[in-house]
Amino acid sequence: MRDGQRDGSGEPGGPARRRGQGELEAQVLSALRAAPEPVPAGWVRERLGGTLAYTTVITILTRLRAKGVVTRQRAGRSFAWTAASDEAGLAAHRMRRVLDAEADREAVLTSFVSSLPARDEELLRRLLREAGADGGLGEESEGRGR
Amino acid sequence: MGVFVFLPLVLPLTAWPIARLAEHRLHPRVATRLLSAVAAVLGLCSSLCLALLAIVGTAQLPGNPLPDAWADPEVRAAVPHDEVIGKAAVAALAAAAASCAALLLRHVRVRRRTARALRGLPGAQVAVLPDELPYAHTLPGRGRAGRVLVSTGMLAGLTSGERRVLFAHERAHLAGRHHRHLLLAGLAARANPFLRPLRTAVAYTVERWADEEAARAVGDRRITARAVAKAALVSRPTPAPVLAGLAAEPGPVPRRVAALLGPAPAVRAWPPLFTTVGMAVWTAAAGAVVSAMSSANSAVTMFLILRAATPL
């Protein structure tokens, strides 16, 4: 939790305000992951030091739920929250959104392989077959066809 | 200045032969550095000359922000000018500048968004993200802050040896700062469309460079080839229909695999002059030098004339 404040703008003056939404999401998620059982939002707020407004915590929990990384269940008149995935799951969700937003992302992010037209696929398989390097490639293609 | 100011606009054509040949005949590291350096020089000189043409061509237009004295008849006589070319140069310069700015903005945006997406993750260099969509990307960063992003969907399709290839390949991108070469070539291609083949060539040689580094790190060219091929087969999108016979040349991935199945390329800084590739290299180098000289000549001439014409 302390780390989060240091990660922000680094200014000691503005504690919670300066933290970006993304960072808050990560903090709420890691707090929830430390919970032994489904916990109410107030527990998360306490765990984060109590500086955040209760509604902020609810907003972030709701947003995390939309991303599928936390779940909730009825507990009396309110909800009890559980982490459904770890920080990597949250990052994966966000990353997918970045990748979807950038149609031409290969101009910026170097990727391991570029997209493969259909005609290249056959060529690729033939190349590997001829070189005798197709360990496991043939079976896989059959499995895919079924 | 005369014809010299137009030369840098067309001299990028001298780099076409090497852009075509570098892929097969040069070591990918040498090719990447050579091509991106040549592209940067040619793109810069071409933009400079475009700016000179724009200044000369628009000095006599009413309402321009340039000093009035630059439009005096004596200055006009000393500087060959043409209103149509001047206007065209202004438009071309504006288009190139806007295009370059858009590319830079996109770079900043993607890097910022990606960094934000990864916030909260432990700071290891390799981040494995649980996602069935197969992808593997390198996110450049300042100093050692660069990261490798690999999805579990990608890793699931590879054996442990092939995963080592994947990580070695991505680390080579980071260590070699390949994104800088790509950005340089990309900006050059936007400054002068004649430089586009160089951008395409650099995008390919950068991947080849990382492939060769990975093959060296893993010590097995064949498994490297297989990793590249399998990753491509795993991550191919829904195949788009291809018109038969339209696409004659195989795409980059089969060419990379074929290169890896062949022998390792020899590292040679400069190929001998009297070979095809040697001629191509020297043609491009000469083109870059002539381009630099003529744009410098034009710039200095124009600077001297306009300084003499500007009342202080």
- Residue B11 carries which DSSP code? G
Q: What is the ipTM of this complex?
A: 0.73
- Residue B143 carries which DSSP code? T
Q: Is A110 exposed, middle or buried, given 0-12, 13-18 or 19+ CB atoms closer than 10 A?
A: buried
Which CATH architecture fits A1-133?
A: Orthogonal Bundle (1.10)
Query: What residues does each domain of chain A span?
Result: 1-133
Strands A110-111 and B126-129, sheet pairing: unpaired
CA distance B28 to B260: 12
B contact residues 61-90, partner A, Cβ 8 Å cutoff = none
Q: Which of A118, A123, A137 sits opposite B250 (nearest CB)?
A: A123
Mean pLDDT of the B207-231 span: 93
Q: Inspect the interface and report whether the beta carbons of B229 and A141 lie closer than 8 Å.
A: no
CA distance A92 to chain B (A): 5
Q: Which residues of chain A lie closer than 8 angstroms to B103, CB-CB?
A: 107
Q: Inspect the interface and report whether the beta carbons of B240 and A113 lie closer than 8 Å.
A: no
In this complex, is the C-beta atom of B222 within 8 Å of any C-beta atom belonging to chain A?
yes
Q: What is the mean pLDDT of chain A?
A: 75
pLDDT confidence band for B52 (50 / 70 / 90): confident
Query: What residues does each domain of chain B span?
Result: 2-238+252-264+280-309
Comparison of pLDDT for B303 and B83, the residue scoring more: B303
Q: Where are the alpha helices (DSSP H) in A38-84?
A: 41-47, 54-66
CA distance A57 to B158: 40
Query: Is the pLDDT at B251 greater than 90, yes or no?
Result: no
Mean pLDDT of the B8-23 span: 89
CA distance B76 to B40: 32
